[in-house]
Structure 1
Amino acid sequence: MHTLSSPPPGAWRFAKMHGAGNDFVVLDAVSQPIELTPELARRLADRHFGIGADQILIVENPMHPEADFRYRIFNADGGEVEHCGNGARCFARFVREQGLSRRNPLRAEICTGLLTLTLEDSGEVSVDMGQVSFEPGSLPFDPDGLASRRQGDATIWQLPLDGLPTVEFAALAISNPHAVLIVDDVATAPVGTLGPAITHHPRFANEVNTGFLQVVDRHNARLRVYERGAGETLACGTGACAAAITGIRMGLLDSPVKVQTRGGCLTIAWNETGLRMSGPATTVFQGWIDPHALVRPTEFKDIAA
């Protein structure tokens, strides 16, 4: 028998965490050797054969001289992505709880730059989310030949879909690419059909996270997000930022905006000083896992006739 203080040889120590229901397996690659492949990421994220998660987060030593740590994000499908706001908050709490650093605020290196993260006295974590871009090429998104209109400061693109109604959305990048649609009611929004149709549309070279935004009043909104590589999640941090910014630019919302997701509430402030997101970060449990003991579900094509 192995205990937390006596793990099996080659096992990885991990924490299972979530930020407003967006859940993660967080791995410490500072004090233990970890080589995560896309296949191992998929197996860890599997909710039947692994631990189960929307994303796998890895905390590493930094390469940037101004960063305290580097943190990387792998979606449930094994693909590495640029940014995860809910994951960033969990990263900050993980570093504190694992005794890796007492610094507050922290500076984290991601593949597109540096983030500043602050553990607040309230127990929430705030993240300075970095740069926002509205240029189609930053997603990248190909708008050639598409109709568009202006609403407030936002450009609203019209995208025909095969077998589905034409949709209107705003496109922006917060490291991750986002398309945001305004809907009357998120509870009845066709997330399961329009979400994958937009997310995997060939006009988005790296796919896109698709947000469905319901404006409640000037400072409150509701949101559902269909994420590339993960499907619909209970919350999406960069998606909440993208939705709030879109609503503000369209003249429908004012900063700060409380964005209610299926997993909890995130507060987004966006003004001339930058973009800041605040919300919860919760540790569910900790343990050890032997990555080489993970199996993948059987596919019938693998079974000999």
Structure 2
Amino acid sequence: MSAADDPVPAIPTHDPGGSVKFEKWQALGNDYAIVEARDLPFELTPARIRAFCAGHFGVFADGILLLSESEQPGFVADLKIFNPDGSEAELSGNGAREAIMYLRQRGWTDADEFSIMTAAGEIRPQITGPTTCKVDMGRARLTSKDFPSGPADGLAELTADGATWRFQHVSIGNPQCSIRVESVAELEALDLPAIGGAIEHHELFPNRTNVSWYAALEPGRIRARIFERGVGETLSSGTGATGAAVAHVMRGGGAGEDVSTVTVVLDGGELEVEVAEDLHVNLTGWAVPVFRGELSENFLKELHETE
């Protein structure tokens, strides 16, 4: 019997007494608070999300991963991903891996391969180790509603903060604007907080965009920095790394024939992105828990009173 055929263990029940438990997880320094929807006594409004994720006054997180039992047959869970500014993200490569490893470790499933539903659609992970998994991210696209004026190949130019940038649009569940620079020295010299926001909010992108800058290191290996929509510069981003890897492959980078493998070196560590000829993408990396917590009565009261 394969792991996928094994009986699925009962999902743990929780104390109905009104306390809200969460777990803090991180993947390459990209940290999320994971919450199970049945534990929440209120809706996660944008204002509550901002208060929950706030530094010093909240739990200090790059976002919230909200897990709920799926009503769709064959899915272990539904996953909603929220940015710290209160907006909802279609997908997060790092957040998805954190949710995947959480589901496995907390007894939602004992299968090595399963499906979860996100706002970007189905994703299928494969557990590869105690802290690692490979995520089938689906097929990247070079055109999307997030860049409505874009050409078929997704290559375009924009001017922001007084500079002109040649970029590759990539849609991988969420919009990516990937920009190649000539050297690592040029990459490291970029003032991302100053220029990232202007590109994120550029008129070309009606739903805003994530931005990645990358430089080639050697065949099949790039260095990247990421400015995430609704977050700012981050230590890492799975979808940002994917966008940069796809852009690199489109320019002839990568290592392989039918499938190009790109190692993306980020501030928080390394991710491996497999890009097939049809732009089907697999993302491999790790995710680990940091701590478990329970929101205090005072903080819960504050969140209740927050609209």
Q: What is the TM-score when the length of structure 1 is the normalising length?
A: 0.85
* Structure 2 equivalent of residue 209 of structure 1: 210
- Between 1:233-242 and 1:188-197, the stretch displaced more is 188-197
* Structure 2 equivalent of residue 173 of structure 1: 171
* Structure 1 equivalent of residue 146 of structure 2: 139
- Between 1:186-195 and 1:197-206, the stretch displaced more is 186-195
Point out where structure 2 has 5 or more consecutive residues left out of the alignment.
Answer: 1-13
* Structure 2 equivalent of residue 23 of structure 1: 31
* Structure 2 equivalent of residue 303 of structure 1: none
Equivalent residues in 2 for 1:104-253, closer than 5 Å: 104-121=112-129, 123-135=131-143, 137-143=144-150, 155-161=154-160, 163-183=161-181, 184-185=183-184, 186-253=187-254
Deviation at 1:154, TM superposition (A): 5.2
One-letter identity of the residue aligned with 1:175: G
Distance 1:129 1:67, change over 3 A: same
4+ runs deviating over 4 angstroms: 6-9, 30-34
Deviation at 1:77, TM superposition (A): 0.2
SS at match of 2:85: coil
Deviation at 1:138, TM superposition (A): 3.2
Distance 1:202 1:34 in 2: 35
Cα deviation per residue 1:206-245 (whole Å; 9 max; x = unaligned)?
A: 0000001111011111111111111111111011111101
* Structure 2 equivalent of residue 301 of structure 1: none
* Structure 1 equivalent of residue 64 of structure 2: 56
One-letter identity of the residue aligned with 2:119: C
Deviation at 1:123, TM superposition (A): 3.1
One-letter identity of the residue aligned with 1:22: N
SS at match of 2:289: strand
SS at match of 2:189: coil
SS at match of 1:221: strand
Is the CA contact (8 Å cut-off) linking 1:28 and 1:59 kept in structure 2? yes
Aligned pair partner of 1:43 in 51, 60, 64: 51
* Structure 1 equivalent of residue 3 of structure 2: none
Aligned pair partner of 1:97 in 105, 110, 128: 105
Distance 1:32 1:210 in 2: 33
Distance 1:105 1:126 in 2: 10
Point out where structure 1 has 5 or more consecutive residues left out of the alignment.
Answer: 1-5, 296-305
Deviation at 1:194, TM superposition (A): 2.1
Equivalent residues in 2 for 1:240-279, closer than 5 Å: 240-254=241-255, 255-272=260-277, 274-279=280-285
One-letter identity of the residue aligned with 1:129: M
* Structure 1 equivalent of residue 286 of structure 2: 280
Q: What is the TM-score when the length of structure 2 is the normalising length?
A: 0.85
Distance 1:35 1:103 in 2: 30
Is the CA contact (8 Å cut-off) linking 1:49 and 1:294 kept in structure 2? no
Deviation at 1:193, TM superposition (A): 2.1
Deviation at 1:122, TM superposition (A): 6.0
Cα deviation per residue 1:240-296 (whole Å; 9 max; x = unaligned)?
A: 11110100001133321111111111000111473100111010000111452447x
Equivalent residues in 2 for 1:74-85, closer than 5 Å: 74-85=82-93
* Structure 1 equivalent of residue 11 of structure 2: none
* Structure 1 equivalent of residue 5 of structure 2: none
One-letter identity of the residue aligned with 1:260: V
Deviation at 1:30, TM superposition (A): 4.7
Is the CA contact (8 Å cut-off) linking 1:75 and 1:229 kept in structure 2? yes
Distance 2:261 2:293 in 1: 38
One-letter identity of the residue aligned with 1:226: F
Is the CA contact (8 Å cut-off) linking 1:117 and 1:126 kept in structure 2? yes
One-letter identity of the residue aligned with 1:111: A
Distance 2:114 2:237 in 1: 21
Cα deviation per residue 1:33-82 (whole Å; 9 max; x = unaligned)?
A: 55311111111110110001111100111133231110000000000110
One-letter identity of the residue aligned with 2:265: Q
